[in-house]
Chain A
Amino acid sequence: DTGVSQNPRHKITKRGQNVTFRCDPISEHNRLYWYRQTLGQGPEFLTYFQNEAQLEKSRLLSDRFSAERPKGSFSTLEIQRTEQGDSAMYLCASSLDGGARGYTFGSGTRLTVV
């Protein structure tokens, strides 16, 4: 297992378009997290899954955002009707249970909305 994989690495989209990102966690990890990071700031929590159940969502996750983890393996994060303020790095992380040994993050998907 080579770690957490995120695709695409970069995405440029026009305002108003929908985008979808994919995250493949470490296979034995049952928890999966999505974070957003804007330039010069630390990552901000968006949502997390335990297996296929979405257990917590941040207030940052507006109605335009939806995340799924249909079979408890990979996850997708969709943003509908993108806005320029959605431009950020979207990070995915996974952990075994509560992450006692830390979370493993992917390299992120950088979204630019023009």
Chain B
Amino acid sequence: DAKTTQPPSMDCAEGRAANLPCNHSTISGNEYVYWYRQIHSQGPQYIIHGLKNNETNEMASLIITEDRKSSTLILPHATLRDTAVYYCIVRVGHNAGNMLTFGGGTRLMVKP
């Protein structure tokens, strides 16, 4: 699976949009971009994933650049409960069956 690079930490004001970047310059054509987050003392939580089109769900939006070498996770109106470590993961296909490879993630701190 392709390696990802994320900033180690970011701050965001409550109510503002949080934009979390991820670089995956070695991504292959059959690799998807997944985002998970981990709130303190809990297991990781799936947020969203995409292949090449932008995606939106009730939690977030995912913007993938046209060359697919980077992506941005957008939390449109961050709340204090969004404070967590956010992991960007690239993996092959949907039925590869195997593991997720977590990097260090971005520690997002939402401040009042």
Contact = CB atoms under 8 A, between A and B. Distances in A.
B101 A45 contact: yes
B103 interface: yes
Contacts of B103: 42
Question: In which size bucket is the chain B interface?
Answer: 20 to 34
A112 interface: no
B94 A99 contact: yes
A98 B93 contact: yes
A99 B49 CA distance: 11
Given A44-B102, A56-B99, A101 B46 contact: yes
Contact of B102 (A42, A101, A107, A108): A42
Contacts of A108: 42-43
A84 to B, nearest CB: 21
Nearest to B102: A42
Given A42-B103, A42-B104, A56-B99, A98 B94 contact: yes
Interface string A64-107: 00000000000000000000000000010100011111111111
